[in-house]
């Protein structure tokens, strides 16, 4: 599945569910070899304006990846996956262009108007192809209030990662 198609499907899923308040959706590339992914590393995303919230999101994603038996790669180790998170507290905050800038032409372009306030996006990229293989989107989940975010992050990411493909694929 091409990255643009994955983005279009995610957008369609988001639009279809956004009218119902908080929602969690995910989409994956059915051709991706999920069973072969064992390690990941972080890549640039759209950070939360609150550093504590950003650390909480990263810790919760790391816990979910660990639960999928995918570990954080050592600094000198080439990862199988790259993970980025995007937090939208205001529509104009989200202007990511997909994969990290050091991978020209890789990833997908994200339309900032497609995601409204309170959205958390987790993108997972195949490190070898530089193509997105999974995206989880939680709408109505991020806030400008750190105390509210602290309550929601773990639950939202747990629901999101329930949709991550099983290791037997």
Buried b (16+ CB within 10 A) or exposed e, 56-71: bbbebbbebbeeeebe
- Please write the tens of the pLDDT for every residue from 129-166: 999 999 998 887 555 666 666 667 888 899 999 999 97
User: What backbone phi and psi angles, to 5 degrees, belong to 63?
Assistant: -65, -40
| Residues in the chain with pLDDT values less than 50 | 1, 3-20, 92-97, 100-110, 112, 169
Confidence at residue 71, expressed as pLDDT on a 0 to 100 scale: 97
- Token readout for 1 is 């599945």
At 104 the three-state DSSP class reads coil
Q: What is the pTM of this model?
A: 0.73
Which CATH code for domain 3-161? Answer: 3.30.160
């Amino acid at each position: 599945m091409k990255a643009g198609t994955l983005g279009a499907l995610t957008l369609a899923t988001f639009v279809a569910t956004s009218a119902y308040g908080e929602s969690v959706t995910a989409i994956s590339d059915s051709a991706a070899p999920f069973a072969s992914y064992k390690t990941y590393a972080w890549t640039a995303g759209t950070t939360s304006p609150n550093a504590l919230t950003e650390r909480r999101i990263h810790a919760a994603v790391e816990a979910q990846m660990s639960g999928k038996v995918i570990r954080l790669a050592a600094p000198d180790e080439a990862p199988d996956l790259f993970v980025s998170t995007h937090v939208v507290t205001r529509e104009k905050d989200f202007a990511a262009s997909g994969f990290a800038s050091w991978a020209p032409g890789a990833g997908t372009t994200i339309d900032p108007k497609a995601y409204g306030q309170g959205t958390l996006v987790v993108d997972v990229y195949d490190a070898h192809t530089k193509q997105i293989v999974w995206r989880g989107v939680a709408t109505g989940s991020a806030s400008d209030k750190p105390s509210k975010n602290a309550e929601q992050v773990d639950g939202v990411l747990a629901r999101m990662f329930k949709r991550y493909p099983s290791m037997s694929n």
